[in-house]
């Protein structure tokens, strides 16, 4: 008799998402959940009504696999207004089940086994499994935390240049960045763009937090730089901008030949995103400018609030320039490592965070770090404040 059927080597190369595990733990222990980045406040009424209207109008069947026309039109109009250039909804856009699927489909469409993909570290934890599943060999380049003042995380220009080679198929950039809150500057992006052009590599840019910016930070789209629209896959979606992470609508914008490869992968992965929610996403993209300004203003206040709460509890915070996370240094608390501390905070203090090690290939990189998110109602932040206060006493 043969032994038990085995599972794939691929699936053994990564573990379940630590972030989503922290959310499950938070539920189990009744902890205030500042781990997974999903808002706990309502989505805009206009967007919700658009979804209800679409269902009531019986928009119940498959949309065109690469995305309903009104949504592709809205994505093209929105992106052209923000970054310039010409985007053809017929040949440059693929609507996916969230930007998570968009990233996976993009990687599977461009990578062959043995190809290398450069990833900045700390990284959004999906990029590791994305590389394994697509057969890419990830090459990590460190983002170093700011020494102080108003400075942002930086990479070493020589280290990045040395990571590129003939094997480099692509570089993944996430700006504004999760988990660091870094916003890549125009100069940094130009440096990366020059390397992509020199080595014939693609830039895959995850811009899902493009509207969530603070202080003097400016979002620069990689595809807006000279010559880069032809070698950039831009990934975006409605999850963060419209506080609808459960709707699972995202997309890629890419050159036509890359788009046809992405569309084939996407078709056989998921067929398509939920049709009524694609209609609602099209409506969302037409919200007035005041909505997007209001989003950034709201998050600015929440950032200040959580910085204050964490600061008085003894966390050393690295102030984010964008997105809605705060990376903290926890070395002064004296826990043996980040995972032990994160578990203790959930079970004994009642606040869930994400251990820093889950953002690094080598866990030692994040042993002294915890990430907290502030995309939460004021009451939720107040509840976290009270629990920290009770702990400190």
Ligand X SMILES: Cc1ncc(COP(=O)(O)O)c(C=O)c1O
Binding site for ligand X (CB under 6 A): 37, 98-100, 124, 174, 178, 206, 208, 237, 239, 245, 250
Q: Which is nearer to ligand X, 295 or 349 (CB)?
A: 295
Q: At what angle do helices 378-392 and 289-313 cross, to 10 degrees?
A: 10
Contact 359, 125 (CB under 8 A): yes
Query: Among all residues, whose Cβ is closest to ligand X?
Result: 98
Q: Which is nearer to ligand X, 246 or 314 (CB)?
A: 246
Contact 317, 303 (CB under 8 A): no
Smallest distance from ligand X to CB 127, Å: 9
Q: Which is nearer to ligand X, 161 or 296 (CB)?
A: 296
Smallest distance from ligand X to CB 188, Å: 17
Smallest distance from ligand X to CB 312, Å: 27
Cα dihedral 130, 20, 264, 255 in deg (nearest 10) = -70
Report DSSP state, residue 176: S
Q: Which is nearer to ligand X, 100 or 134 (CB)?
A: 100
First vs last C-alpha separation in the chain: 62
Q: Which is nearer to ligand X, 120 or 124 (CB)?
A: 124
| Residue keyed to tokens 């300004």 | 293
Q: Which is nearer to ligand X, 93 or 349 (CB)?
A: 93
Smallest distance from ligand X to CB 37, Å: 4
The DSSP annotation for 66-111 comes to T--HHHHHHHHHHHHHHH-S---TTTSEEEESHHHHHHHHHHHHH-
Q: Which is nearer to ligand X, 281 or 349 (CB)?
A: 281
Edge to edge, what strands does the sheet with 369-373 contain? 316-318, 325-329, 369-373, 354-355
Smallest distance from ligand X to CB 182, Å: 12
Contact 264, 254 (CB under 8 A): no
Q: At what angle do helices 98-110 and 127-134 cross, to 10 degrees?
A: 40
Pairing of strands 232-237, 202-206: parallel
Smallest distance from ligand X to CB 272, Å: 15
Q: Which is nearer to ligand X, 327 or 349 (CB)?
A: 327
Smallest distance from ligand X to CB 250, Å: 4
The residues with which 117 forms a beta bridge, in sequence order, are: 138, 170
Smallest distance from ligand X to CB 166, Å: 28
The DSSP annotation for 319-375 comes to --SBSSEEEEE-GGG--S-HHHHHHHIIIII-EE-EEGGGGSSSGGGGTTEEEEE--
Give the H/E segment covering residue 391: helix 378-392
């Amino acid at each position: 008799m043969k032994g038990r059927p085995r599972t794939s080597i691929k699936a053994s190369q990564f573990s379940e998402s630590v972030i989503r595990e922290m959310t499950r733990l938070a539920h189990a222990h009744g902890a205030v959940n500042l781990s997974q980045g999903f808002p706990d406040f309502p989505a805009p009424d206009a967007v919700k009504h658009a979804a209800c209207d679409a269902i009531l109008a019986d928009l119940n069947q498959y949309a065109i696999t690469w995305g309903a026309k009104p949504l592709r039109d809205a994505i093209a109009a929105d992106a052209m207004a923000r970054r310039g250039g010409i985007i053809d909804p017929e040949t440059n856009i693929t609507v996916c089940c969230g930007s998570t699927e968009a990233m996976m489909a993009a990687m599977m469409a461009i990578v062959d086994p043995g190809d290398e993909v450069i990833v900045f570290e700390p990284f959004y934890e999906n990029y590791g499994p994305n590389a394994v599943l697509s057969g890419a060999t990830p090459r990590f380049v460190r983002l170093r935390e700011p020494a102080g003042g108003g400075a942002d995380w930086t990479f070493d220009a020589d280290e990045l240049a040395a990571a590129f080679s003939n094997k480099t198929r692509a570089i993944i950039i996430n700006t504004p960045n999760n988990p660091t809150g870094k916003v890549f500057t125009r100069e940094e992006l130009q440096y990366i763009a020059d390397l992509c052009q020199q080595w014939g590599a693609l830039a895959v840019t995850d811009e899902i937090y493009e509207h969530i910016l603070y202080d003097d930070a400016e979002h620069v789209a990689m595809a807006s730089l000279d010559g880069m629209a032809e070698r950039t896959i831009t990934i975006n979606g409605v999850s963060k901008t419209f506080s609808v992470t459960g709707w699972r609508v995202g997309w890629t914008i890419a050159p036509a030949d890359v788009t046809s490869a992405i569309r084939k992968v996407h078709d056989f992965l998921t067929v398509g995103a939920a049709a009524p929610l694609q209609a609602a996403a099209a409506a969302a993209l037409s919200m007035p400018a005041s909505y997007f300004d209001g989003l950034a203003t709201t998050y600015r206040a929440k950032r200040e609030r959580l910085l204050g709460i964490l600061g008085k509890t003894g966390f050393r915070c690295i102030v984010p320039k964008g997105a809605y996370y705060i990376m903290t240094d926890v070395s002064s608390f004296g826990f043996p490592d980040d995972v032990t501390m994160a578990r203790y905070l959930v079970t004994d203090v009642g606040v869930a965070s994400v251990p820093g090690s889950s953002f690094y290939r080598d866990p030692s990189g994040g042993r002294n770090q915890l990430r907290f998110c502030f995309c939460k109602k004021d009451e939720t932040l107040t509840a976290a404040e009270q629990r920290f206060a009770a702990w400190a006493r």
